[in-house]
Amino acid sequence: MLVAAWRLDGAESASVLVPREEVVEIDVLAYDESEGEEVERRAAFGLSQPLYAKSPGGVTATARRTESYRPLVEDAVAGSSFDADLVEAIVFLESGGRPDVIAGDDPAGASGLTQILAETAQNFLAMDIDLDASRRLTARIAAAERRGDTARAERLRALRRTVDTRFDPEQALAGTVRYLAVEAVAISIDLLRRPVGHAPRAATERVDEELHLETQGEREDEKEWNSLP
């Protein structure tokens, strides 16, 4: 296509205009099944460095440590709708099977086998935590380890489990299952109440009742724990 165009100096010149190609929108997040193996390879590669760097012994040792808690995991999920493999995977990813690990130096942060925040444990899961005592013991544990006194460090860890139950594997797993149960109900309510379609009234009422009973049970447990000497 040949057309006349004006240059900036005012002279007329002939130019060829090339029609633009139609712009096609691309969804960069779209999943292509043909690329499944490549996506899995990249995901595994992306997680490999922190897994080996942050988990002593790498993936093999991490798997062995995590597997040792399988009986406690199965006890924790008994009577719930959650699969033991799911909770075991949480242990694997969160702590590498290490019940005393802390995200940082302050136990106010994520701590224990499933890396529960102190605030979440106290205010949401009604777990027994004396954060000040936990901090003092954590500092003493670190000091004992610097001196190479492993026996004293282990005694202090045992004592810390009594004042901060996030470091008690059995209590940490039980708290994690409670957390998953409440979140699952909350997600169900959110899905049922979305304005797309209409959920049956009976289903909505059932979820509301489950959430109410869960909350009521937590409050009763908290009152009982608070009344203990």
Q: Return per-residue pLDDT of the chain as tens, 229 residues.
A: 444 555 555 555 555 555 556 666 666 666 677 877 887 777 666 656 565 566 677 778 888 999 999 999 999 999 998 999 999 999 998 999 999 999 989 999 999 999 999 999 999 999 999 999 999 999 999 999 999 999 999 999 999 999 999 999 999 999 999 999 988 877 665 555 555 444 444 444 555 565 566 666 666 656 665 565 5
Please, are residues 12 and 4 in contact by the beta-carbon 8 Å criterion?
Answer: yes
Measured distance CA(180)–CA(134) in Å, rounded: 25
Please, are residues 90 and 172 in contact by the beta-carbon 8 Å criterion?
Answer: no
Q: How many domains does the chain have?
A: 1
Report the candidate in 72, 60, 71 with the shortest Cα–Cα distance to residue 96.
Answer: 60
* 70 within domain boundaries: yes
* 36 within domain boundaries: no
Q: Where residue 172 sits, what CATH number does that domain have?
A: 1.10.530
**Can you tell me whether residue 153 is helix, strand or coil?**
helix
The domain of 115 spans 56-212
Report the candidate in 71, 64, 91, 85 with the shortest Cα–Cα distance to residue 175.
Answer: 91
* 96 within domain boundaries: yes
* 31 within domain boundaries: no
Amino acid at 71: P
> With a threshold of 0.75, does the pTM exceed it?
no
* 87 within domain boundaries: yes
* 17 within domain boundaries: no
